Each structure stands twice: as structure tokens, then as C-alpha cells.
Amino acid sequence: MCDSCGCSALDRTIGVVHPHADTHVHDHGHSRPDPAGDMRTVRVEADLLAKNDRIAAANRGWFARGKLLVLNLVSSPGAGKTTLLERTLRDVAGAWPWAVIEGDQQTDNDARRIAACGVPVVQINTGTMCHLDAEMVADACGRLAPARGTVVVIENIGNLVCPALFDLGEAVRVVVASVTEGDDKPAKYPYMFETADLVVLNKCDLLPYVPFEVERFEASLYDVNPDAPVIAVSAIRGDGVPAWYRWLGDRRGVAAIGA
């Protein structure tokens, strides 16, 4: 029983207290189903992410049929997702067909940077939302209509928390971290790092100037996700990017076979 008002809200919860501000007005009564009235309890047992997961599964099927390699690129704001993408598109745009979905709360700044690389791009502005969901991606893919074998990069909202929850139907999830952040990021944001297929560690040209230790970062990542490889790069200078391109090439090969 709740200590504040004596209601039964705590009967079946563990460690969660429902709030009782001083202004709490008890106009709803916290009543059990009234046997005399029509009040009843309806069992639901429905997964809240089921709708998103259903659309994501449909996306995944559609991507597989088109032999598309679809990447969900996630990071905190400012880790260098767009810069990595610009570098990638300039270096290997001719190798495969590309398409990009840019997610930001506001502005089409990033879409314009990608369009300047000569690649088809759709900007999604989520307004107040902190993540892309599968439905937004389905809609953007419909507009992009990527040709068979296209590498589709979804640049998610810069946020290490919420995008972890929403499957978009992607084949691979790539987390971009940077050495100007703490080297304990994987420990602090385990949900994002544990689902990563690859971690790109960016801004490595700044390593001499920052207290970031790559080994500590890798150990922190290993605790959450022992399978994710790390590729260290400087997207702005181009160090290390060939390893990233090889990884992409391998993944595109897998998508083409339909494995």
C-alpha cells in the first residue's frame, strides 16, 4: 500500500512509487472494479514496441528482396556521423549505388551536405521526437526508391539513448564514437553499444591532445558487446577509413547473397 495516500498502487509494483505532489487531487478514487457497476479489468498483454517491430520486419523483408545493404548509423550529437558519411561518399560513391536518409529534429543542413556529394537523400525532421522509427524509414525508403544493390545509410538522430530501442529493419547497426567523448561511453550507454555490429571510433587524429585511452574504451565495449569490432578513423583526415570501406564491402557482399 502506498504510504502517501493509502491507495493500492504499490501492491504489485517493485521499487516504483507513484508520485504524490502536494496538489494531488483524489478525484479518481483508485477504486477496484466496482462489482455493482460496469467497471471491469481487460487483460491486454501487448508489447508496446510490437507495432514498430512489425513495420521493421516488413522493412527488413523489403530490403532483403532488393539486395539492399541498410545501415543504421547512431552516435551522440557531434561524434562525426555526417563527416564520416561525406568522406565515404566522396571516396567510394562510384563503387556502389548509395542512398541516404538523414534524421534530425530540425533543419535540412545534413541533407544538403549529403546532396553536395551527389547522392540521393531524404531528410526526416522529427520535431520533438528523439529517434527515428520504422514507419518513418519505410516512408523515406518509398520516396528514395533505391535501385537493387544500393547501400542505404540511415543517419539516426544524434542520441545514445532512445534510438537503441527502435528497430528500423536495418541489416547492421553502426555506432560512431569519438575520442573527444569519454572512453567509458559503452559502460554509460550499454543499450546502444550492446546491439552494435561495428563501432567506428572517430577523431583519432586528436588522440595526442585528449585523455582518451583506446584500450580502456575497447575494454569497456567488450564488457557490453564482446563481438563488435572497432575501426579507428579520422573522418576529417582520412586515416583508417580503408578498413571501414572493406567492412562495408564485405557486408554488401553478404546482402547481395541474401544470407
Partner 1 sequence: MHELALSQSIVDLVLERARAERLRTVTRVVVAVGAAAGVDAEALRFCWDVVVEETAARGAELLIAEVPLQARCRSCGHEFEPAVVLAPCPGCGRSGVELMRGRELRVTSFDAE
Residues that bind partner 1 (CB under 8 A): 9, 12-16, 18-19, 27-28, 30-31, 33-34, 37-49, 51, 128-131, 133, 161-162, 164-166, 187, 190-191, 222-224, 226
| Nearer to partner 1 among residue 3 and residue 43 (C-beta) | 43
Smallest separation (angstroms) from partner 1 to the CB of 246:
27
Q: Is 201 helix (H, G, I), strand (E, B) or coil?
A: strand
Q: What is the DSSP letter of 29?
A: T
| Nearer to partner 1 among residue 43 and residue 259 (C-beta) | 43
* 140 touches 122 (CB < 8 A): yes
Smallest separation (angstroms) from partner 1 to the CB of 118:
34
Any residues with CB less than 8 A from the CB of 36 and at least 6 apart, and which? Answer: none
| Nearer to partner 1 among residue 11 and residue 257 (C-beta) | 11
Smallest separation (angstroms) from partner 1 to the CB of 128:
7
Smallest separation (angstroms) from partner 1 to the CB of 139:
16
| Nearer to partner 1 among residue 74 and residue 151 (C-beta) | 74
Smallest separation (angstroms) from partner 1 to the CB of 76:
15
| Nearer to partner 1 among residue 40 and residue 211 (C-beta) | 40
d(CA 244, CA 258): 21
* The Cα angle at residue 43 between residues 38 and 44, in degrees rounded to 5: 125
What's the burial of 246, exposed, middle or buried (CB within 10 Å: 0-12/13-18/19+)? exposed
Q: Helices 134-144 & 50-65, crossing angle to 10 degrees? A: 30
Q: What residues does 164 pair with on adjacent strands?
A: none
